[in-house]
Structures are given as C-alpha cells and as structure tokens.
Amino acid sequence: MNILLETAAIILFGSGVLFMLVGSLGLLRLPDFFTRTHASGKVDSVGMMLCLGGLALHEGPTLSGLKLVLVIAFVAVSSPVAAHALARAAVRSGLKPWRAPGQGGPDR
Amino acid sequence: MRTPSRSLVVVLAARGLAPAIQLFALYVVFHGHYSPGGGFQGGVLLAASFVLVRLAEGYGAGQHQIPRRAGLLLGVAGVLLFGAVGAAAFLTGGNFLDHGRVPLPGFAPADLRSLMILVIEVGVAITVAAVLTAIYDELLGDEDDA
C-alpha cells in the first residue's frame, strides 16, 4: 500500500515536471504573446497542480497534506483566471494574433 | 485611455477568492505564535484581498469595502495600538515592550507576555494592510481622477 502511494506520488510529480518542461519550451519557442500565454498557462496550472498533488500524496492525511490540497484548489482557480485576464487585456489594447507567413501573416 | 471593462470570469474569481484570502490572513496573524507568519505577513494578505477587489470590481466597489480616508486612519490606529501596548509597561516602571509589567490584573507574567505579543501583532497587521491599500489608492492619483 505504501509502495503504491509512493509510486503514484512519483508518477504525479514526474508528469508535473514534464508539463513544466514542455510549457517552458513553449514559452521560449512560440512566436507571439497569445501562444506564449497558452504555454505558460500549462506551467502555472497543470504542472504546478500535478507537482503539489504528488507532494500531497507523499505527505498523507496530515495538516500539511490538507494545506497542500488547499493550495491546489487556489491554484486551480487563480492561475487560469490570471491567464485569461492577461490575454483579454492584450486583445482589448489591440494586439493582433500571430498568423503564419502566407496565411495572412507577413511574407518572409 | 481605454474604456474600463468587466470580465465576468475575473469578477467571479475575485468574489470567491477575496473572502478566502481574508480568512487565511486572520489565520496567519493569530497562528503566528506557533507557525511561520505573524502580523506583517497577515497584513500583506489582507491588503492583497482589498487590492484584488479594487482591481476586479472597479475602484468604486473597493471604496465601499475600505474607503480611501479609512486607509490612513487605520494605519495610524495600528501604530498607536503598538505604541500604547509598548508604553503600558511604563505604568509599573518597566521598559518599553516589557509585556510582563503591563498592569492587567489576573494574568501570570508569562501569559501576559503571550497575550500582549498577540495584540502587537494585530496592530502590525492593521497598519500593514491599511498602508499597502493606501499606497495602491495613492498610485491612482487624486480622488477626482480615480
């Protein structure tokens, strides 16, 4: 039972780290603001929630575990809302989304 | 200058988060004896919830919660609470912040120190929350422009 829990915690934490890695790569490689917001939203929400979930499983049903679950709930609410507010502010101030060259974008 | 707009997502999230942040701020202030936290951290959390409401619901709604004038008054009140508790030990000849000498009958000196530290933490929390909110208000400019 203990080994099962630890394995699940490791798998959760590892997949969280994977999401963070992919999101960071996207932040570096994607072309414009909106696509980068899309990538960093994954790091903030999914990556962090999976890592914290792994830590909560490792901690077990203690007060610290309960606090970790609370942090997961807050991150689940606040991080997507922050990404939404950023993208909405960008749209409202007139930023145009990126288009691939030849599909409405600059011919380069 | 763009026209202000209300995003339903942001407004609803702020309405849900702000009371939870305030509750956690009180926990951080009053649990500061036993765990990381205390007056400054709890006050910053309180100020964060006030600024969150001002950002999401607009300046007017935030004024109903903590008016601009109350920000500075509360800041002064917190400092005065700190100073009064610190100076209360003078009454029985103690030093500043010597909480064991505060003339409050019915308490052992050790219990009195624990209690008075809590009162001082509350004063710090009030001041920090009020001043951080006031700084946000002042950054917006005069009341006519806001």
Beta-carbon separation of B9 and A74 below 8 A: no
What are the chain B neighbours of A63 within 8 Å (beta carbons)?
A: none
Query: What per-residue confidence (pLDDT) applies to B56?
Result: 87
Pick from A77, A84, A88: CB nearest B16: A77
**Mean pLDDT within B100-126:** 86
| Domains in chain B: boundaries | 8-139
Query: What per-residue confidence (pLDDT) applies to B1?
Result: 40
- For residue B128, the tally of other CB atoms under 10 A from its CB is 21
ipTM over 0.90: no
Q: What is the DSSP letter of A93?
A: T
Query: What per-residue confidence (pLDDT) applies to A80?
Result: 92
Residue with tokens 């004063």: B123
Q: What are the pLDDT tens digits along chain A (108 aa)? A: 789 999 999 999 999 999 999 999 999 999 899 999 999 888 889 999 999 999 999 998 999 999 999 999 999 999 999 999 999 989 988 888 888 877 766 655
CA–CA separation, B83 vs A14, rounded Å?
Answer: 51
Beta-carbon separation of A78 and B20 below 8 A: no
Q: Does B64 reach chain A within 8 Å, measured CB to CB?
A: no
Query: What per-residue confidence (pLDDT) applies to B146?
Result: 46
Q: Would you call B130 exposed, middle or buried from its count of C-beta atoms within 10 A (0-12, 13-18, 19+)?
A: buried
Phi, psi of A101 (to 5 degrees): -55, 130
Q: Does B9 reach chain A within 8 Å, measured CB to CB?
A: yes
- For residue A51, the tally of other CB atoms under 10 A from its CB is 20
Which of A57-66, A99-108, B8-17, B132-141 comes out lowest in average pLDDT? A99-108
Pick from B2, B9, B20: CB nearest A81: B9
pTM, entire model = 0.81
Beta-carbon separation of A85 and B17 below 8 A: no
DSSP string, chain B: -PPP---HHHHHHHHHHHHHHHHHHHHHHHTTTTSS--HHHHHHHHHHHHHHHHHHH-HHHHHHHS-HHHHHHHHHHHHHHHHHHHHGGGGGT--TT-GGG---TT--HHHHHHHHHHHHHHHHHHHHHHHHHHHHHHHT-STTT-
Q: Which residue in A has a C-alpha nearest to residue B10's C-alpha?
A: A81
